[in-house]
Amino acid sequence: DSSTKSPLPDSVVEKLKAWNRLDWEIYTHFNRTFWERIERDIGRERMRREVMELQARRAELARTCLQGTGSVAPKDIKDSSLRPLQHGGARILGYNLKQGLDGELERTCRRLVTPELQYSSLLYKKQFPPQPAET
């Protein structure tokens, strides 16, 4: 929720970069080489078009999957399994799915709006299913 965001002063940003200097150097290296490859392999114009296509597809999925106009406050999320963990001062928003979606579409939409911790748990269970007890 943008109401819980606040910009960091430049002095704090510089301290964070110093504390995380190696991470920052890795990030800047790969960000630079990413854009070099975009320029070399597909060009900025094609990248811009593909980003626009992605944004249009995201909007289409939101219209298909979501009740209302988008994200809602945690207290307004009807399905508790789709409620993000609230920690600290930030308020993490979530989504309500439209009612009556058919089976496969409902599963697709649910995967798209499942919060990070719940999604990670699902992936873990899929990657490491419980082994049957030996008898």
- Is 51 a member of any domain? yes
- For the record, the structure tokens of 37 come out as 């490859």
pLDDT at residue 52 tops 80: yes
In a 10 Å sphere around its CB, with 0-12 CB exposed, 13-18 middle and 19+ buried, how is residue 47 labelled? Answer: middle
Using pLDDT thresholds of 50, 70 and 90, give the confidence band for residue 1: confident
Question: Which pLDDT score, from 0 to 100, does residue 37 have?
Answer: 97
Question: Mean pLDDT, the chain, as a whole number?
Answer: 93
- Is 103 a member of any domain? yes
pLDDT in tens, 81-106: 999 999 888 889 999 999 999 999 99
Contact 113, 95 (CB under 8 A): yes
- Is 32 a member of any domain? no
pLDDT at residue 2 tops 90: no
pLDDT at residue 135 tops 80: no
Range(s) of the domain holding residue 66: 43-127
Task: Give me the number of domains the chain comprises.
Answer: 1
- Is 8 a member of any domain? no
Question: Which pLDDT score, from 0 to 100, does residue 68 have?
Answer: 87
- Is 26 a member of any domain? no
Question: Which pLDDT score, from 0 to 100, does residue 31 have?
Answer: 98
Among the listed residues 70, 68, 79, the one whose alpha carbon sits nearest the alpha carbon of residue 114: 79
Q: In this prediction, what percent of the chain has a pLDDT beyond 90?
A: 83
- For the record, the structure tokens of 72 come out as 């809602």
Among the listed residues 97, 67, 68, 75, the one whose alpha carbon sits nearest the alpha carbon of residue 1: 75
Contact 92, 2 (CB under 8 A): no
Using pLDDT thresholds of 50, 70 and 90, give the confidence band for residue 18: very high
- Is 4 a member of any domain? no
